[in-house]
Structure 1
Amino acid sequence: MAAFFRQYIAPLIAVLIFATALVATSARIFLPNDMAGPAPIEDIAPTTPSASSPSNGLSS
C-alpha cells in the first residue's frame, strides 16, 4: 500500500499543487490592467471620532 501511495498518489498531489499555483499566477493575464498591479498602500485614518471608538449608549 505504501508503494502505491509513493508511486501514484504523492506525485499526483504534487502535480495538482503545481497546477493550482500555475493557474493562480497566470490568472493575472486576464485581469484588467488597473487590477494587475499590487494594491496601493495608504494610511487610512477615521474621519470622525466616533468611528474609532464605537459607543453603545452605556456610560462608565
Structure 2
Amino acid sequence: MVQSLLQSQWAELFDVVAFFRSTLLPILIVALFALALVAVSARIWLPGDMLAPAPIS
C-alpha cells in the first residue's frame, strides 16, 4: 500500500516535470527571445540623437 502510494507520487512528479519540459519551458524560451527582439528593435523608434553612444567627455 505504501509502496503503491510512493509510486503514484513519483508518477505525478514526473508528469509535472514532463509538462514543464514540454509546455512551459518552450513558452518561456520563445517569450524570452521575443522580449530580447523587442528590446533590440526598440532603437528604430528612438529619436536620432538618442541612437548615438553617450559622449565620453
Given the alignment of the two structures, is residue 3 of structure 1 paired with residue 42 of structure 2, yes or no? no
Partner of 2:29 in structure 1?
14
Structure 1: stretches of 5+ with no match in the other structure: 43-60
- Between structure 1 and structure 2, the one with the greater Rg is 1
Q: 4+ residue stretches of structure 1 with deviation over 4 A?
A: none
Q: TM-score by structure 2 length? A: 0.68
**What secondary structure, in the 3-state scheme, does the structure 1 residue paired with 2:49 have?**
coil
2:19 aligned partner, one-letter code:
F
Question: Does 1 or 2 have the higher relative contact order (CA < 8 Å, sep 6+)?
Answer: 2
Choose from 13, 37, 41 the match for 2:56. Answer: 41
Q: How far, CA to CA, are the matches of 2:34 and 2:19 in structure 1? A: 22
- Which blocks of at least 5 consecutive residues in structure 2 are unaligned? 1-15
> How many residue pairs align between the two structures?
42
Report Cα offsets for 1:32-56 as digits up to 9, x if no partner.
11101211112xxxxxxxxxxxxxx
Percent sequence identity over aligned pairs: 57
State the Cα RMSD in Å: 0.8
Q: What TM-score do you get using the length of structure 1 for normalisation?
A: 0.65
